[in-house]
């Protein structure tokens, strides 16, 4: 029992010290090991996983064997599996990295056909986490509202 108490005390002390050390590093104003200044976003902080599935179900509940399509979009520099990554990154930059704030291009007329499409964007932009899920009435309405971000 005494050995267990010693281990618990040592673990608590180690946890407290590691938290103190982390706080000191975060608030020191020193540059990060990758060379960026404190408070400056990391180079890989503009990354999204984008998904599209036909239907009205939540993409978080979709089976991996379903017909969902997924791409990785990395901005600054543009890379990943998105076929129109440069355009998608520019549109996200104009929206401050928030997929919910994308502004429709306008001038696109869509039919009233009901063929639902659900989209999901999960990622970070300048160290802020975003999760966006929405069901549109059809693919045309999806592209009219989201531009090239979900054009894959």
> What residues does each domain of the chain span?
1-39, 47-146
Express each pLDDT in 26-55 by its tens digit. 344 554 444 545 555 455 689 999 999 988
CA angle 148-150-152, nearest 5°?
90
CA dihedral sign of residues 42, 44, 45, 46: positive
pLDDT of residue 23: 39
In the chain, what percentage of residues exceed pLDDT 90? 55
Say what the pLDDT of residue 19 is. Answer: 43
- Which own/partner contact pairs does 60-64 have at CB distance under 8 Å and 24+ positions apart? 60/120, 60/133
Say what the pLDDT of residue 123 is: 97
CATH 3.40.50.2000 fits 47-146, yes or no: no
8 Å CB contact between 125 and 45: yes
Mean pLDDT of 94-115: 90
Give me the half-sphere count of Cα atoms (radius 13 Å) on the Cβ side of residue 48. 28
Please report which confidence band the pLDDT of residue 10 belongs to, taking 50, 70 and 90 as the band edges: very low
Cβ within 8 Å of residue 86, ≥6 positions away: 78
The predicted structure's pLDDT at residue 78: 96
Degrees to nearest 5, angle at CA 123 with 98 and 91: 40
Q: Is pLDDT above 50 for 16?
A: no
Of the pLDDT bands very low, low, confident and very high (cuts 50, 70, 90), residue 136 is: very high
Q: Residue 64, Cα to own-chain centre: how many angstroms?
A: 19
């Amino acid at each position: 029992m005494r050995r267990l108490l010693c281990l618990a005390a040592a673990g608590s002390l180690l946890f407290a010290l590691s938290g103190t050390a982390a706080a000191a590093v975060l608030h020191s104003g020193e540059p990060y090991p990758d060379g960026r200044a404190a408070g400056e976003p990391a180079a890989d902080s503009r990354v999204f996983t984008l998904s599209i599935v036909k239907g009205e179900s939540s993409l978080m509940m979709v089976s991996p064997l379903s017909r969902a399509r997924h791409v990785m979009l990395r901005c600054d520099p543009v890379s990943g599996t998105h076929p129109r990554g440069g355009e998608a990154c520019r549109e996200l930059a104009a929206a401050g990295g928030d997929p919910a704030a994308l502004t429709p291009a306008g001038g696109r007329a869509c039919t009233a056909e009901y063929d639902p499409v659900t989209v999901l964007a999960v990622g970070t932009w300048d160290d802020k986490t975003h999760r966006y899920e929405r069901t549109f009435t059809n693919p045309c309405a999806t592209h009219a509202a989201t531009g090239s971000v979900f054009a894959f």
